[in-house]
Structure 1
Amino acid sequence: MSPATATPATRVLAVIPARGGSKGVPGKNLAPVAGVPLVVRAVLACRAARHVTDIAVSTDDPAIAAAARAAGADVVVRPAAIAGDTASSEAAVLHALDAYPTTAVVLLVQCTSPFLAREDVEGVAAAVVEDGADSAVTVAPFHGFLWREDELGGGQGMGHDKAFRPRRQDRPQDFLETGAAYAMAAEGFRKHQHRFFGRTALVRTDPARVLEIDEPHDLARARALAPLIDPATTPALDDVDAVVLDFDGTQTDDRALIDSEGRELVAVHRGDGLGVAALRRAGLKLLVLSTEQNPVVAARARKLKIPVLHGIDRKDLALKQWCEEQGVDPQRVLYAGNDVNDLPCFALAGWPVAVADAHDSVRAAARAVTSAPGGAGAVREIAAWLLGPELDRTPSPARSSTP
């Protein structure tokens, strides 16, 4: 079926190249941004997009393959011949396309664009499926002047006369290729073996979302920007099987009162206790996990009637072992924390959650952030996410102190 006569039943394959080797950022395609690995972010954008009927992650890496399958994508195992540093994305797409012979339109979706959105994928697909373009690319409006250094070390204007500086409104509109998403009529792509052929449609996207991860600083910037760019996302009960809570700074305000005998008092929130009780009644597995070896941690866990592991140096190893013992997939664990010692657990859990006053690096790594600070109802807020508005409408008593 040609794109011009395509119907909603047209088979549209989205191919996400994600090889295991990366020189600039080792393990790049599994690096989390806002708590979600890059390859999974790309899969989720494709799953949400209209027109896409099949999603295939092309990879040579078993860990990437496992993450892709868990996110709902197919996996095409990429042979070594097209998995090296010099292999092109087109080669990966052509190889994957062989497994889907009835595909009418094929997409190339890059997981190195962390802020790829459903609209980007829909836009390039619709340009070919509905509007009859031969190929399509996501672009962003661009108003800068490009320069290139010449052989003598001087600068030469690219596409403009450096002696003439017209105002932006007097120049033709230029567009920057975002590197996020492409679409091609499958028959033409097989023939030309290149992503641009025939009439190429330009699909505009928001310049604020344009970022490609090639170097470590790109990844750091993506993590810092994610809370500002990503739509607010909170988990539902169907998303998690267990809730694991840090103690200091998450269930408390991170302060401690110490008497002359060295005994500690901390402030907790009664509403958090209400939330924990509701989570327990809902059948979720619960755990308090703390670095501190402190009687106050054990006392609070006893009052909440949930198990506790404290005095733990490697919280991630303890969490992994607990998940194995409980038969819980770490990707279905909500882990709530506030400081840098929680980051290894954030990398393990499927739903890393930061409290509102968490360390900046923790907020950047979180998949969701509470509006309440630690010790001020953050745990109750998490319970409301999972259990719905009924809990959220329950009056919340003020904080109290616990030994």
Structure 2
Amino acid sequence: MEAGEARPRAHLAALVLARGGSKGIPLKNIKLLAGVPLVGWVLRAALDAGVFHSVWVSTDHDEIEKVAKQFGAQVHRRSPEVSQDSSTSLEAIREFLNHHQEVDIVGNIQATSPCLHPSDLIKVADLIQKEGFDSVFSVVRRHQFRWSEVKKGENKMTEPQNLNPAKRYRRQDWPGELYENGSFYFAKRHLIEKGYLQGGKMAYYEMRAEHSVDIDIDIDWPIAEQRVLSFGYFGKEPLKEVKLLVCSIDGCLTNGRIYVTEDQKEMVSYDYRDIVGINLLKKRGIEVRLISERDCSKTLPAMQLECVAEVNATDKLQVLEDWRKYIGLSWKEVAYLGQFLFFLFSFFFGSKISCSVHMQTS
């Protein structure tokens, strides 16, 4: 390198290990969590962070590879030797590095941490690239008292580890302790090649408690789904062109089930996750209106959507046209979520209009 020439920036790669043979939850890494494949949550955060030279998924499974590519990641097909139940993350990462000599730093991101945000990854990249740390890993602060298990015969004895029982701390008087939350482990190549993910000049990165979600067993799933709906990263802001979403209630918000009461009245059921998705769009400034061929006016208040709705609509396209003109929008500013009308749009307007919208939870 010539004198005065800028030193090339180290290649920082995000790497998500996503083996297909999960025992606790089969194909856990692509199971839908709040409508998004589990691995998709962290891939979206990694790609939107904009700090990685490359984003990879290391997998041994065809379906996981397909999902990874759909989200924009590159795929490393890991060997059977590092795809066993007994294989360690370090073994899989070292194999990846052996095949990718261009990589200088690996950000190993856990697929089971769906509340990861790009802002966290940006700050960690600065720690390891600009401040010279060799390894950085994520932690969460907890205020939990720990006790040792002391076995003496059949008696269950115990001793305190981090407290004096005679003088228990109040939460506000105790800084707590740092625990690894498993969201990510960044390390430079030379450390990994020596067999370490943590070492050298080492730093921790403290994540917010509400973002520290780790899915290990099936019972964690419903809890994680509620957490991700409240605290997850839903991607960049929607395209500014879309200002109105018209959602067909028939077949979109309904889940295809009809219930009959004792007095022979029919009732349909709705998926609450769709309601959450619509409310998220409204918070981002997109107007949402509903349309239905049926008379469901009595059931709309129970959905608590507070959207303009047109029921008994025999000509949905005409209703949509009237709304578009009334609000003063062009077709490219309108999105429609439905079934049959989509084909009408495609026939009449082709690629000139936007007929899709990212419904994050449906």
TM-score, normalised on structure 1?
0.61
Instruction: Select the residue among 180, 183, 186 that pairs with 1:183.
Output: 186
1:45 paired with 2:45, answer yes
Q: Secondary structure at the match of 1:106?
A: strand
AA in 1 matched with 2:25: V
Gaps of at least 5 residues in structure 1 are: 258-264, 290-300, 309-331, 336-350, 354-364, 367-403
Shift of 1:251: 2.3
Q: Deviations over 1:45-96 (max 9, x none)?
A: 1112243111111101111111111211111111112112221111111111
Any conservation in 2 of the 1:211–1:218 contact (CA below 8 Å)? no
Is contact 1:41–1:114 with CA below 8 Å preserved after alignment?
A: yes
**Who is 1:92 aligned against?**
92
After superposition, residues 89-238 of structure 1 pair within 5 angstroms as: 89-151=89-151, 152-191=155-194, 193-231=195-233, 235-236=238-239
Q: Within 2, Cα distance between the matches of 1:214 and 1:256?
A: 43
Give the C-alpha shift of residue 287 in structure 1. 7.8
SS state at 2:93 partner? helix
Give the partner amino acid of 1:126.
D
- Find the aligned partners of 2:8 and 2:206 in 1 and give their Cα distance: 23
| SS of match in other structure, 2:250 | coil
Equivalent-residue separation in structure 2 for 1:199 and 1:22 (angstroms): 34
Which residue in the other structure is 1:26 paired with? 26
Q: Which residue of 2 aligns with 1:339?
A: none
Tell whether the 8 Å contact from 1:124 to 1:182 is kept in structure 2 after alignment. no
Deviations 1:319-363 (A, max 9, x none): xxxxxxxxxxxxx9848xxxxxxxxxxxxxxx446xxxxxxxxxx
- Residue 211 of structure 1 aligns with an amino acid whose one-letter code is V
One-letter code aligned to 2:46: C
Partner of 1:394: none
Secondary structure of residue in 1 paired with 2:183: strand
Q: 1:96 to 1:143 in 2, by over 3 A?
A: same
Shift of residue 226 of structure 1?
2.4
For 1:20 and 1:279, locate their aligned partners in 2 and report how far apart those are by CA, in whole Å. Answer: 46
Q: What is the Cα deviation at residue 271 of structure 1? A: 6.2
Q: Structure 2 vs 1, CA of residues 70 and 158 (structure 1 numbering), >3 Å: closer, same or farther?
A: same
Partner of 1:227, secondary structure, is helix
Question: SS at 1:247's partner residue?
Answer: helix
Q: Distance in 1 between matches of 2:143 and 2:118?
A: 25
For residue 291 of structure 2, the aligned residue among 251, 259, 272 is 251
The Cα shift of 1:119 comes to 2.1
In 2, the alpha carbon distance for the partners of 1:98 and 1:276 equals 56
1:307 & 1:77 partners in 2: Cα distance?
Answer: 42
**What letter matches 1:99 in structure 2?**
H
Shifted more, 156-165 versus 101-110: the winner is: 156-165
AA aligned to 2:54 is: D
Q: Identify unmatched segments of 5+ residues in structure 2.
A: 254-289, 299-309, 346-353
Identity %: 27
Rate the CA distance shift 1:137–1:236 in 2: closer, same or farther, 3 A.
Answer: same
Residue in 2 aligned with 1:61?
Answer: 61
Shift of 1:209: 0.8
What residue is the counterpart of 2:11 in the other structure? Answer: 11
Instruction: Supply the distance in 1 between the matched residues of 2:12 and 2:19 (Cα, whole angstroms).
Output: 22
Cα distance in 2, alignment partners of residues 274 and 181 from structure 1? 50
Given that 2:59 and 2:77 are in contact with CA atoms closer than 8 Å, whether structure 1 keeps it comes out as yes
Distance in 1 of aligned mates of 2:15 and 2:342: 48
Q: Give TM-score, length-normalised by structure 2.
A: 0.68
Give the deviation of 1:177 after TM superposition. Answer: 1.2
- Where 1:47 maps in the other structure, the secondary structure is helix
Would the alpha carbon gap of residues 172 and 283 (structure 1) be closer, same or farther in structure 2, given more than 3 Å must change?
closer
Q: Which moved more, 1:279-288 or 1:83-92?
A: 279-288
CA distance in 1, matches of 2:208, 2:295: 39
Separation in 1, partners of 2:17, 2:296: 47
Output the aligned Cα RMSD.
3.9
